Structures are given as C-alpha cells and as structure tokens.
Amino acid sequence: MRKFIDAYYRLLNVLLGLSVGLLIVPVTLQMISRFTALIPAWIWTEEMARFLFIWMVMLGAMIGVRDGTHFDVDVLPVLKPRANRILRIVSMVFILIFALVFVWYGIKFVQFGWSQTSELADLPMAWIFVAWPLTGLTWLLFGGERLLADIRYVIHGPGPGDDAPARDLGTGSVV
C-alpha cells in the first residue's frame, strides 16, 4: 500500500510540474499571434490555459495534503509532541470530512457537467469537473495515511519513521 501511495504521489508530482511548464505555452501562443503573422489568433488558447490552471490547482491541493503544506494558523501555545499528534488527528478528521463532501457531491458535479461542452474549444466539461471528486479521493488516500501514522504514534509512541517535525513551517503561502 505504501509503495502504491508513493508511486501515485510521484505521478501527481510529475503531472503538476508538467502542468506548470505547459501553462506557458498557450499564453505565449496568444502573444505571438498578436504580434506576428506566424500563427493565427486561435481562440482556444485562453481556455486551454484556464483549464490547465484548474488542474494545476487541484493537483497541488492533492499533493499538499500528503506534504502537510496547506497552511494553518497556530494560536495555541506550544504543545507536547503527543498532544500535538492528537490535535493533528482531530484536524485531519475534518480534512477527511471535506474530502468526503468533495467525493459525494463531486460525482454529482461531474454528472451535471456530463452533457456540457466548453464555450470555445468544445471540450467535454466532465474532463474538468472530474478533478473535484478525484481530489476528494486523493485526500482520503493521503489524509488516511497520515491519520493512521498519527494514531499509531499516539498509541505506541514514536516509531522509526516519526522523526519528521510535527509541524512544517514557512511553506504554504505565496504571499
């Protein structure tokens, strides 16, 4: 299972990196078509950029749950490692609830978009909407993995893979 999650995580990383690199392409085409006669002014460039962007955001949101980089605000005093883990379990349970909402209503969202196509390039909207339930499923997988690790820690104490810091700092905000 661990191996499967690792492989899936690596796949998502590759897709995320690619989506960022590819984002440049349609926007560049748009600029080239405006200033030169090399290519026609395709109307789908903007839409393609937006849809790639949506997938980039959702892929990053999936990965963020395994990395633990979705930013939180720490208003509580410094806690003991065990109390910290218990709090992490509580907060993860809420993330998983949100994940379930994404899966359940996300499937409805895809069904709703099943017969729709996009305005400019005539793409089936389901290709885009499917990112939501997939994000929910991925959160369940990654979040469940972290949750189990934390529960194990609280019951049995620190294990071999638990030397990582309980809180990750300085990531999660672009501002």
Partner 1 sequence: MTGATLTPAVAALWLFGTFFLLMIMRVPVAFALGLACLPVLIIEPRLSPMVVFNTTFKAYNSFILLAVPFFLLTANLMNVGGITDRLVHLSRTMVGNFPGALAQINVLLSVFFAGISGSSTADAASQGKIFIEAQVKEGYDLSFSIAITAVSAVLAVIIPPSILMVVWGGVLQVSIGALYLAGVIPGLLIGLAQMATVHVYAKLRHYPTYPRATLKEFFSAAAVAVPALMTPFIIVGGILLGWFTATESAAAAVIYAAVLSLGFYREMGKKELWHALLETGKLSAIALFCVGTASVFGWLLAYFQIPKALLANVTTWGMGPIGVGFFIVGVFLVVGCFLDAIPAIIIVGTVLQPLAASVNMHPVSFAIISIVALAFGLVTPPYGLCLMISCSIAKVPLRYALKDTMIMLVPMLLVLFAMIIWPQIPLLLPELIRPDFLK
Chain residues in the site for partner 1 (CB under 8 A): 13, 16-21, 23-24, 27-28, 30-31, 35, 46, 49-51, 53-54, 56-61, 63-64, 67, 69-76, 87-88, 90-91, 94-95, 97-98, 101, 105-106, 108-109, 112, 128-129, 132, 169-175
The minimum distance between CB 163 and partner 1, in angstroms, equals: 17
The minimum distance between CB 48 and partner 1, in angstroms, equals: 11
Closer by beta carbon to partner 1, 50 or else 152: 50
Closer by beta carbon to partner 1, 42 or else 160: 42
Name, in order, each residue with C-beta under 8 angstroms of 152's C-beta and a sequence gap of 6 or more.
159
Closer by beta carbon to partner 1, 64 or else 124: 64
Closer by beta carbon to partner 1, 63 or else 137: 63
The minimum distance between CB 76 and partner 1, in angstroms, equals: 7
Residue whose C-alpha is closest to residue 147's, from 79, 71, 65, 74: 65
Instruction: Decide: 45 and 30 in contact? Cβ < 8 Å.
Output: yes
The minimum distance between CB 160 and partner 1, in angstroms, equals: 25
Three-state DSSP class for residue 7: helix
DSSP H helix total and E strand total for the chain: 5, 0
Instruction: Decide: 82 and 158 in contact? Cβ < 8 Å.
Output: no
Instruction: Decide: 114 and 126 in contact? Cβ < 8 Å.
Output: yes
The minimum distance between CB 17 and partner 1, in angstroms, equals: 4
Closer by beta carbon to partner 1, 109 or else 153: 109
Q: What is the DSSP string of 115-169?
A: T-B-TTT--BTHHHHTHHHHHHHHHHHHHHHHHHHHHHHHHH---TT--S-SS--
